[in-house]
Amino acid sequence: MKTASQILLSLGLALLPVGQVSALTFSFDYQDSNGFGYFDNTSASPVGGNTGTTLGEQRRILLEHAAGVWANYLESDITIVIGADFQQIGGSSNSATLAFAGPEFLLSDFDGAPLPDILYVSALADSLAGEDNDPGSPDLGITVNESIDSDPNVLGGGGFYYGLDNNAPSNQTDLLSTLLHEIGHGLGFLSTVDETDGTLLGGLPDSFTVHIFDEETNEAWTEMTNTERRNSAINDPDVTFRGPATQQAAKRQLKPEFGGVSVDQINASGDTISSFSAQAGNFGWGVPESGVSGKLVLVDDGSGTTSDGCQGPFVNENEVLGQIALIDRGTCFFDEKVAFAQAAGAIAVIIANNDGETLVKMSGDDASITIPSVFIGQSDGNELKALLPGALVQIRNTIDPSGIREGSVSLHAPNPVASGSSISHWSISTFPHLLMQPNLSRLVDITNPQSGLVPFTQLPELDLTILAMRDIGWPIKNISIPHLSYELWAAEQITGPNTGREQDADGDSYTNFFEYVYATDPMLASSAPLVPAFSVLDPSNLELKYTRNSIAADVTFELTRTEDLETSFSDTTYGTGYRQTGATTIDDMTEEVEWEVFSEAPNEFFRVKGTENP
């Protein structure tokens, strides 16, 4: 039944001051009059990949491009209708509402609803029901502030940037980021709770609110009274989003923002010999909970300063393969260096300053980078170089990633309540900054551009936001980050009651958890895990091949050893004598991996053990 109709939930962006599967499709109900907004006939020059020749055409191209980014990640058989317009909302020289958006209505208890008595935004309800619940009506509405383009007194008069490349000049506001953000609200990234009094819309929680939790009071919002929810709504930073897919993805997407990372020299037993402070960059994955260890190799790119990693392929690519690359700062961009190292097969990168001890927060926008990278001071870099060749190092986080509270991502819960911003956004403390943070960035004083709080320039990748969409009910696709815990995997892969870790759903003598680790079908007895086997290439070189679950966020794959197969295998083996030499992704779930192990004894045997992170 429909529990609320034509509710436009105004989630504003008070900016920023200047400085095959079911394919989802969108249609657009442009609601402006001729000559205005999306039909503005003012001539415009193509910019940043946007080929429109009038202002209105460029606006339509940009909105449809932003919707296309979302369509790349969500599945639905039902076309989603976006109602869109421009309005003259006004603003000041250093603050303005960029846009506001929300679902046009919400539904509960429709055919296909996953949970009873829960509100789902129109677009999601249509997807889950497999039918349009309100034919002919928009599912979500987006209004953009036309004053930012037309009023020279608003945000310095620079107007919106209409390129598709997220390359806005410093005096303009990137409209693509704004529209990506607003579409997110309309698709369900929002709470319908009234934060000022704690009341539920129509007396029911929504599919976003069911994941909201107060870590201080240890209560879910669905368990609270109105007064308790009202008090919790200003309890920053303890209000979190406990969606399980989001929790898992956050382990690799979020990082400590200021320091909080260590590069340790370790011995063959894993004991720390010395430690160096490091800083994570804003691109690539973060360091996993278990850390990442390997032999340290100084890159040689064969040109100029050979250790700056600015040319590829590396001369010593075979040495870098499966190890941790050490690279000097200078000559090219940070993400270029890391991309070359990743192409060479490095499992992580350490970049050393070439001009002092300052720990730089490395910037970059290469979304293809999936290995961790950290920055260290010049003298620490020199000390690591003095340990070469053969140094074994481990990179690890020493504090929780920024924006994480008790293992969950914090929501924006300032005191007092910020109308249009509270709760329905990620916390501003997350690092890297996320698409669904309020204002796309933080409110900054444009008279102080050195404040360090810079405009958010979101690439067409939807970070943790797309995992939150999965948690609220959206079927999603094309996710290239680890995001499945055992519980999520079991819920999707196992039908019936035998979902426990130590149970055996298909009766093939392998536990469900073992099938999870090695990526076999827990419901099909003929699909049984193959225990990783050894093949001897020569008396001192072993090649270990196995298949693993490539998106298991809670499993560490450890190398263990024994002197004969009758003796129990050791704990995790550390040493300079092994490396991952190849990995070929088969599909979204499995990965074929090869490790090369150099053994000093012909009777030394190795295996890979998948264990759950503590």
Q: What is the mean pLDDT of the chain?
A: 88
Give how far Cα 276 sits from Cα of 25, 166, 299, 320, 470, Å.
50, 35, 20, 21, 38
**Model confidence at 350: pLDDT above 70:** yes
Confidence band for 581, pLDDT divided at 50, 70 and 90: confident
Which pairing describes strands 348-352 and 373-376: parallel, antiparallel, or unpaired? parallel
**Segment 117-134 mean pLDDT:** 96
Q: pLDDT tens for residues 137-175?
A: 999 999 999 999 999 999 999 999 999 988 899 899 999
**Model confidence at 482: pLDDT above 50:** yes
Cβ 428 vs Cβ 289: under 8 Å: no
Higher pLDDT, 612 or 334: 334
Q: pLDDT tens for residues 269-323?
A: 889 999 999 999 999 999 988 899 999 999 999 999 999 999 999 999 999 999 9
pLDDT at 561: 84
Biggest alpha carbon distance in the chain?
A: 82
Q: Which residues contact 599 (CB under 8 A, 6 or more apart)?
A: 540, 541, 542, 577, 606
pLDDT at 379: 98
**Model confidence at 459: pLDDT above 60:** no
Nearest-10 Cα torsion for 7, 11, 12, 15: -170
**Model confidence at 452: pLDDT above 70:** no
Cβ 175 vs Cβ 181: under 8 Å: no
pTM over 0.75: yes
Q: Which residues contact 440 (CB under 8 A, 6 or more apart)?
A: 13, 15, 16, 98, 174, 177, 178, 181, 455, 456, 458
∠ CA(316), CA(318), CA(324), 5° rounding? Answer: 85
Q: How many CB atoms lie within 10 A of CB 547?
A: 18
**Segment 174-194 mean pLDDT:** 95
pLDDT at 207: 98
Q: CA–CA separation, 344 vs 544, rounded Å?
A: 20
Higher pLDDT, 584 or 460: 584
Nearest-10 Cα torsion for 226, 230, 232, 234: 170
**Segment 371-388 mean pLDDT:** 97
pLDDT at 271: 92
162 secondary structure, DSSP code = -
**Model confidence at 233: pLDDT above 50:** yes
Q: CA–CA separation, 447 vs 452, rounded Å?
A: 12
The structure tokens listed for 129 are 């029901």
pLDDT at 440: 52
Q: CA–CA separation, 138 vs 122, rounded Å?
A: 9
Confidence band for 378, pLDDT divided at 50, 70 and 90: very high
Q: CA–CA separation, 123 vs 142, rounded Å?
A: 14
Cβ 106 vs Cβ 192: under 8 Å: yes
CA of residue 164 relative to chain centroid, distance: 21
**Segment 471-483 mean pLDDT:** 82
